[in-house]
């Protein structure tokens, strides 16, 4: 993370216990040199902090908010209720219900209050970071170029994997 740049992405999460599960967000943002900040706040335990943070996000220069929470995961929805910035909802896996609880409570938003929800576990955290980069890249040609290079490398990577598979199948 570049400490000299103002953050463009705000990562918020319901508990510090979420952080080890969602660190992939920060890794993805770092890969594209996108400055971000990370904070713990809870829709249920500290609702006023969430309202203050999201309500002042635009004037503080944030462009995208990624909201991660597990269980009765209302953080992304509450964030979306208080700002016009795009909100990416990141459902966190849970020990009791496996994250289906987090997924449904994040994704099932009522009309007029969108939350772009990514997967529970798997590529979810990474995709949340990449989606934020893609949103920022709309108005940033150099970031767009980096994304195109990234896509190109993906193609090469998969072609290489396929080549190895074919070789392993040869008798």
Point out which residues bind ligand RP5 (CB under 6 A).
Answer: 13-15, 17-18, 42, 69-71, 92
What is the chain's Cα-based Rg?
17
- Least separation, in Å, of the C-beta of 92 and ligand RP5? 5
Output 16 or 156, the one with its CB closest to ligand RP5.
16
**Which residue, judged by CB position, is nearest to ligand RP5 in the bound state?**
14
Q: Which two tokens stand for residue 161?
A: 């994997």
Output 2 or 17, the one with its CB closest to ligand RP5.
17
Q: How far is CA 61 from CA 28, 29, 48, 140, in A?
A: 20, 17, 20, 15
- Least separation, in Å, of the C-beta of 80 and ligand RP5? 16
CA-to-CA distance for 144 and 149, rounded, in angstroms? 9
CA-to-CA distance for 114 and 88, rounded, in angstroms? 9
Output 22 or 109, the one with its CB closest to ligand RP5.
22
Neighbours of 53 (CB within 10 A): 21
- Least separation, in Å, of the C-beta of 110 and ligand RP5? 20
- Least separation, in Å, of the C-beta of 159 and ligand RP5? 38
């Amino acid at each position: 993370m570049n400490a000299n740049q103002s953050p463009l992405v705000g990562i918020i999460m319901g508990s510090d216990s979420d952080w080890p599960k969602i660190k992939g967000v920060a890794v993805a943002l770092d890969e594209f040199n996108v400055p971000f900040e990370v904070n713990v706040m809870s829709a249920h335990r500290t609702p006023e902090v969430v309202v203050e943070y999201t309500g002042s996000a635009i004037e503080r220069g944030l462009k995208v908010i990624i909201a991660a929470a597990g269980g009765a995961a209302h953080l992304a929805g509450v964030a979306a209720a208080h700002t016009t910035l795009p909100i990416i909802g990141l459902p966190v896996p849970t020990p009791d219900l496996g994250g289906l609880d987090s997924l449904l409570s994040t994704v099932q938003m009522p009309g007029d209050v969108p939350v772009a929800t990514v997967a529970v576990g798997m590529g979810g955290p990474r995709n949340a970071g990449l989606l934020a980069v893609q949103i920022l890249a709309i108005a940033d040609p150099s970031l767009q170029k980096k994304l195109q290079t990234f896509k190109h490398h993906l193609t090469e990577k998969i072609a290489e994997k396929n080549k190895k598979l074919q070789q392993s199948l040869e008798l």
